[in-house]
Structure 1
Amino acid sequence: MSAASPTSSVHNLENRSSIKRLTREHFALYRGYLDGVSIEQLHATYGDATTDVRATRRLIELLRDTLSGAARRTRDVEATHLLRLRPGSIPEAQRLAASEMPTLEAYREAVDPNGFHSEAELLELYRAEFPLENAPGVDRRTTRNARLRRRQVDALARMEVSLVQAPQRDHPVASWLEPAIAGRLQRTGIHTLADLLGFVEQRGHRWHASVPRVGPKAARRIVDWLALHADSLRHTLSKRAVTPRRRLSSSDPGLARPRQSGIVPIESLDVPAEIDGSNGTNRARNLIFQCSLNTDLQAIDAWLATRQHSPHTARAYRREGERLLLWAVNEKNKALSSLDNIDCAQYIETFLADPQPAARWVGSAKIERFHPDWRPFVGGLSDRSRETARAILHAMGQWLVDQNYWASNPFSGSPAVAIDARIDVSGRSLDHKQWQSVVRATSRDRYSQRELRDYLALNLAYSTGLRRAELAYATTGRLTHTALRSTIDKGWQLAVPGKGCAARIIPVPQAVMELIFESLRARGLPGDPGACPVDTPLLAHFRTGKSLTPDGLGQVFRRLFSWTAPLSTAQSLADLRNRPNASTHWIRHTHSHYALESGADCREVQARLGHANLSTTLLYVKARRHGQVASGKTGVLPNR
């Protein structure tokens, strides 16, 4: 029987003499047996697909002994006898039409060949079944058999009421699940049903991936069994535990973690009252302009609400505020509003460079926020990242001072972190031969939907110079086209949102637009972007059709670079050494180099790339020159 099957608590029956726990499903199985249902049918309904019919037959024999023994202990003589009757012991009237009333010896041989009952018990049963001395007629036999069958049903019902058990949270998993599955769970540290429920809730729909040798099918049966007994277990599995992650959006309430202390995302953080900031030593005490914010969590939430310029900006600001609050509460055991200049300097200069203990603070970038293994860091921060964090937190501190929440900004005394040039473009772009290697490796005579999407991503990035997130969020609704030299020749442009209301208008070459048309048709959409819903992503997941995340797009480019054939030039060794680090930004640098090489004005390139300062764009001018790249299907040239 499967891990979720009704009688899964009694596997390996040949090694057992009794059943530990009787469930309602056990009684359903035995009721079907007494009703005359074939063993084969009972096995198909209640048995384990990994065993044969003999396992169900042994279970029925064990149930007969267990139920009869329990009835005998309670002095229920009638149930003791009736529950041992085999199917056919209460025959139909047609089979008794020509029969005579049996003798007591014949009756004993028929119903108690093993001498289970005493002489007095057997006589009592005999008289109950055959109250008249003379053989009854057919109608009397029919009435007697119906009465006896009802008594058998009643006897089984009495035993079910007194013996049946429902799974409880403190029951061992070995009492309910098949031994093989229970053993694998126990080796993972899951010993009780409460442990199992907590494990499934924490790990989500793919919880079984953390249990060796428990696959999706077995996990599905276990989850179904837990859902079947939700009332007795006093727990209904959450939406996240029973729904595949791909069917839940990142904002779905089912992904929210319960409020708790420790290293958890800020939206799930429960800060102890004594350090929640309501009485922080750095709280402003201006009675005239009192702040409406009471706790540090409220203050950070209010600050983040004013910094929703773009999804990327919102994530960056939330990340820094979240890290600082978690550090203050868990490492310093202080309210955020009690940190001083020394604490903030230690945080920027020491902790961010090497978050310790690493097991507590550092995790994988692939783990989502709702997962229990989520951590706020993926490693120590570089000097530039620490300077970015300092600047963001300094701005947050100043905002809190302006809101009359903090008395002073503790980050005012933290010196800027010394960093090199903002963008290192040297050696982080592709020359003519390298680019051609990438194009050759990704070109196909015929593309699958996924290959076409990847090839489009490569050419769209190269021809526009967009950042990874900007590529991920590009949609058909942001594409426009206008007449150039005639009403037939159309020029396509892509609007790229910026901070606030600013937006960049990027020209898209016709060759890239042809790839977009082809990609849309391959996805079953109209080839005309204007005929598609405005939120249709240009670069979509090839199975779900939803937008790729920036990280997902980064994986696309890493895969594209991994396909590139090794270069045959003298600098191959150095190129191959750097190639594993190639990223989406390399294509952006390559676009910038070529645009400047082709004579584009620096300010034009600055506007196209979205650089806030011209000095950033001028870094590309100082870099080494690159050869030209052919246009068309062998690599699309950026527009001038």
Structure 2
Amino acid sequence: MLAAPNPPSTRNAESRTSIKRLTREHFALYRGYLDGVSVEQLHATYGDATTDVRATRRLIGLLRDTLSSAARRTRDVEATHLLRLRPGSIPERIAESVTPTLEAYREAIDPHGFHSEAELLELYRAEYSQENFPLDRRASRNARLRRRQADALARMESSLVQAPQPSHPVSSWLEPAIADRLQRAHIYTLADLLGFIERRGHRWHTGVERVGPKAAQRITDWLSLHTDSLRHTLSKRAVTPRRRLPGNDPALARPRVTGIVPLEALEVPHELDGSAGINRADQTPSDAGFLTDLQAIDAWLTSVQRSVHTVRAYRREAERLLLWAIHTKEKALSSLDSRDCAEYIETFLTDPQPAAQWVGGGKIERTHPDWRPFIGGLSERSRETARAILHAMCEWLVNQRYLASNPFVRCAPVTTGPRIDVAGRSLSHSQWRAIVQASTRVLYSGQELRDFLALSLAYSTGLRRAELAGASTGQLTQATSLEPGGDRWHLVIIGTRRSDRRIPIPDSVMALLIASLQARGLSGNPAKCASDTPLLANSRTGRALTPDGIGQIFRRLLLGPKPGMAHALLSADAKSRNPSTHWIRHTHSHHALERGADCREIQARLGHAHLSTTRLYLRAAAVGANQSR
């Protein structure tokens, strides 16, 4: 593609008198032009999709001048003249002569053989004079001229065409504006660009100011055209959106290295792998069959029969401890003692240093080279969670006869406040009514209806955002007329530790759900929809929203798109706390308790493991009531 990577562009073409580097794409474009292909078709094939046909027309004129000048410098007079001839000045062929062959003439005028051969020849010569012969000579001349023109272009291509090399500056190949933005990101050569793309993956452009996905796609397309000369083929991870790659795709695998990297890419030096750890139960292979700390951690994670989120949290804490032991203490994990563990919990987790090695961005994938174990220091609650998880892991390893003792036994718990902070994180009745009013429409768009359904469903059920994202029509059941509640619908939430929760859905929310299904082109009866049909779907793809997508909806509804709407209902202190999905969950609980609902009923609906957690709402409500007096 002769798009942004190939100067000139619509902005700089008229100020240029020649092209710095001629590529095979330039010659393909000009060859098509000489062959009579329309400029519109050439623009569609070779042009920049972000410009109009005038850019390609200017590029053709610039190519004509550049090629002619180059031919003149090499004293190729023939090429200088031929390459400036415009399409049509050398017709591809003259219309075929209307003169028939002698045999065809005989069939036409003397099918019965009345004339002799001499008479027939005389008639033929009299009717078809020699005036057609110059036409034949002109056609032959034009054909030779076109061949000479094609040969001249081929000569120029063989002598002038250049292929991009890794050491070439980006400014030699990419349009000036793009090259300037890349250079500000410290990308100076094509080799730098290839390395940057490989490190950051498909969304590499987010690391370059003012380079969007369309410009990035044009650049990677151009790089892919020159894999031979650049001696590099962009990897699958670099050209494919992450959402299209399954988690086990080989393209996402990282080579094993001895750095601060995820467990799956960690290469542990033999002297630190734990095979000879000081705290090992013995120096012989464990009964469980794992020999090193990394193998022991993998076995522990495999033994955890919990939710995906729980396993992820366990892996995160084990990974952090192992990396800290290797790179900071220069010890095997199985050589850590109680003083090391106390230092890790009380000091290192509070402020992981050096930050350049340990702290990274919040949404960087594990496969990305910029991944780091932390996004900042941990709060007291998070440090206590880490201590509890690591204590449980080491206890399991002791039971498996891998460790001689649990080094976290003497590590004191971190003093924390309530596990769930509900104070000030819910809405009053007046605030809730105002937000509902701001979200209500006489006529809804598909997205507005989906968002209002999400708000109503979350308030009426108290579901977590992951539960809202995973809710589908297959989880809806309808009570029979013989059951309490008549024909009321219920949503069944599959439990992990506790039994399943069966939560009633108000008729008004079911009406919104039915309208939303119909707006998506589905049956208004949830029982007739496919069981995996999401209740809250992406308005464009129809797939289930992610938990992050649910969170974005509620932040938008609670803060409001414009000042003066729901945004004005929250105090400055409340707005600074970044309202989230849990605010709706807290509001559901507070309002239900104020209406006289039993605390155990709320516990069952919310899925709390302990009643003491639910009672936090009672204490928070009492504090709020006292403050309002």
TM-score where L is the length of structure 2: 0.78
Question: Secondary structure, in 3 states, of the residue corresponding to 2:488?
Answer: strand
Residue 322 and residue 137 in structure 1: after superposition, are their counterparts in 2 closer, same or farther (change >3 A)? same
Cα pair 1:5 1:46 within 8 Å, conserved: no
By how many angstroms is 1:495 displaced?
A: 1.9
Q: Does 1:56 align with 2:60?
A: yes
Q: Write out aligned runs for 1:5-84 (5 A).
A: 5=6, 21-29=21-29, 31-32=31-32, 49=51, 51=55, 53-67=57-71, 69=73, 80-84=76-80
Matched with 1:121 is: none
Matched with 1:220 is: 217
> 1:577 is matched by which residue type in structure 2?
D
Residue 172 and residue 474 in structure 1: after superposition, are their counterparts in 2 closer, same or farther (change >3 A)? same
Residue 384 and residue 179 in structure 1: after superposition, are their counterparts in 2 closer, same or farther (change >3 A)? closer
Q: Does 1:554 align with 2:558?
A: no
Q: Does 1:167 align with 2:171?
A: no
Cα pair 1:30 1:63 within 8 Å, conserved: no
Matched with 2:503 is: 506
CA offsets per residue over residues 484-512 of structure 1, 9 Å max, x none?
A: 44799313222222225742222323332
Structure 2 Cα separation of the partners of residues 380 and 421 of structure 1: 20
> 1:479 is matched by which residue type in structure 2?
L
CA offsets per residue over residues 195-247 of structure 1, 9 Å max, x none?
A: 21222233333333333343343322212111222233333333443344555
By how many angstroms is 1:148 displaced?
A: 6.9
Structure 1 Cα separation of the partners of residues 268 and 245 of structure 2: 28
Structure 2 Cα separation of the partners of residues 230 and 590 of structure 1: 58
CA RMSD of aligned residues (A): 4.1
By how many angstroms is 1:3 displaced?
A: 2.1
410-419 or 338-347: bigger deviation: 338-347
Match of 2:315 among 315, 318, 322: 318
Matched with 1:386 is: 383
Structure 2 Cα separation of the partners of residues 486 and 15 of structure 1: 82
By how many angstroms is 1:263 displaced?
A: 4.1
Q: Does 1:354 align with 2:351?
A: yes
Matched with 1:583 is: 580
Consecutive unaligned residues of structure 1, counting only runs of 5 or more, are 73-79, 98-135, 629-640
Q: Write out aligned runs for 1:393-404 (5 A).
A: 393-404=390-401
Q: Write out aligned runs for 1:478-497 (5 A).
A: 478-485=475-482, 489-497=486-494
Question: Secondary structure, in 3 states, of the residue corresponding to 1:190?
Answer: coil
Structure 2 Cα separation of the partners of residues 92 and 587 of structure 1: 75
CA offsets per residue over residues 82-136 of structure 1, 9 Å max, x none?
A: 43342389888979x9xxxxxxxxxxxxxxxxxxxxxxxxxxxxxxxxxxxxxx9
Cα pair 2:7 2:174 within 8 Å, conserved: no
Matched with 1:327 is: 324
CA offsets per residue over residues 605-639 of structure 1, 9 Å max, x none?
A: 332222222222333344435999xxxxxxxxxxx
Question: Secondary structure, in 3 states, of the residue corresponding to 2:416?
Answer: coil
Cα pair 1:93 1:138 within 8 Å, conserved: no
Matched with 1:3 is: 4
> 2:551 is matched by which residue type in structure 1?
G
Q: Write out aligned runs for 1:362-511 (5 A).
A: 362-485=359-482, 489-500=486-497, 502-511=499-508
Cα pair 2:281 2:403 within 8 Å, conserved: yes
By how many angstroms is 1:417 displaced?
A: 0.8
By how many angstroms is 1:331 displaced?
A: 3.3
Structure 1 Cα separation of the partners of residues 204 and 354 of structure 2: 26
Structure 2 Cα separation of the partners of residues 41 and 484 of structure 1: 68
By how many angstroms is 1:541 displaced?
A: 2.4
Residue 82 and residue 336 in structure 1: after superposition, are their counterparts in 2 closer, same or farther (change >3 A)? farther
Q: Does 1:181 align with 2:178?
A: yes
By how many angstroms is 1:533 displaced?
A: 2.0
By how many angstroms is 1:37 displaced?
A: 6.7
> 2:239 is matched by which residue type in structure 1?
V
Matched with 1:535 is: 532
By how many angstroms is 1:322 displaced?
A: 2.5
> 1:443 is matched by which residue type in structure 2?
T
Matched with 2:114 is: none
Cα pair 2:435 2:558 within 8 Å, conserved: yes
Question: Secondary structure, in 3 states, of the residue corresponding to 2:502?
Answer: strand
Structure 2 Cα separation of the partners of residues 529 and 139 of structure 1: 78
Residue 535 and residue 308 in structure 1: after superposition, are their counterparts in 2 closer, same or farther (change >3 A)? farther
Structure 2 Cα separation of the partners of residues 311 and 69 of structure 1: 69
Question: Secondary structure, in 3 states, of the residue corresponding to 1:419?
Answer: coil
Matched with 1:520 is: 517
Structure 2 Cα separation of the partners of residues 405 and 470 of structure 1: 38
Match of 2:613 among 600, 616, 622: 616
Cα pair 2:593 2:618 within 8 Å, conserved: yes
Question: Secondary structure, in 3 states, of the residue corresponding to 1:84?
Answer: helix
Cα pair 2:462 2:586 within 8 Å, conserved: yes
446-455 or 81-90: bigger deviation: 81-90
Matched with 2:304 is: 307
Structure 2 Cα separation of the partners of residues 448 and 57 of structure 1: 50
Question: Secondary structure, in 3 states, of the residue corresponding to 2:477?
Answer: strand
Question: Secondary structure, in 3 states, of the residue corresponding to 1:83?
Answer: helix
Number of residue equivalences: 576
413-422 or 208-217: bigger deviation: 208-217
Question: Secondary structure, in 3 states, of the residue corresponding to 2:609?
Answer: coil
Cα pair 1:7 1:26 within 8 Å, conserved: no
Structure 2 Cα separation of the partners of residues 405 and 378 of structure 1: 32
Residue 545 and residue 295 in structure 1: after superposition, are their counterparts in 2 closer, same or farther (change >3 A)? farther
Structure 1 Cα separation of the partners of residues 78 and 561 of structure 2: 78
Q: Write out aligned runs for 1:86-105 (5 A).
A: 86=82, 87=85
TM-score where L is the length of structure 1: 0.77
Structure 1 Cα separation of the partners of residues 40 and 581 of structure 2: 61
Structure 2 Cα separation of the partners of residues 176 and 234 of structure 1: 16
Structure 2 Cα separation of the partners of residues 462 and 574 of structure 1: 18
Cα pair 1:286 1:404 within 8 Å, conserved: no
Cα pair 1:597 1:625 within 8 Å, conserved: no
Structure 2 Cα separation of the partners of residues 434 and 615 of structure 1: 27
Cα pair 2:338 2:410 within 8 Å, conserved: yes
Cα pair 1:6 1:26 within 8 Å, conserved: no
Question: Secondary structure, in 3 states, of the residue corresponding to 2:517?
Answer: helix
Structure 1 Cα separation of the partners of residues 553 and 484 of structure 2: 37
Residue 61 and residue 313 in structure 1: after superposition, are their counterparts in 2 closer, same or farther (change >3 A)? same
Structure 2 Cα separation of the partners of residues 207 and 52 of structure 1: 28
Cα pair 1:431 1:626 within 8 Å, conserved: no
Structure 1 Cα separation of the partners of residues 270 and 475 of structure 2: 48
> 1:62 is matched by which residue type in structure 2?
T
By how many angstroms is 1:392 displaced?
A: 0.6
Structure 1 Cα separation of the partners of residues 563 and 623 of structure 2: 19
Question: Secondary structure, in 3 states, of the residue corresponding to 1:521?
Answer: helix
Structure 1 Cα separation of the partners of residues 571 and 225 of structure 2: 59
Consecutive unaligned residues of structure 2, counting only runs of 5 or more, are 98-132
Structure 2 Cα separation of the partners of residues 83 and 410 of structure 1: 83
Residue 366 and residue 451 in structure 1: after superposition, are their counterparts in 2 closer, same or farther (change >3 A)? farther
Cα pair 2:8 2:175 within 8 Å, conserved: no
CA offsets per residue over residues 124-157 of structure 1, 9 Å max, x none?
A: xxxxxxxxxxxx9987887677567656645654
> 1:66 is matched by which residue type in structure 2?
A
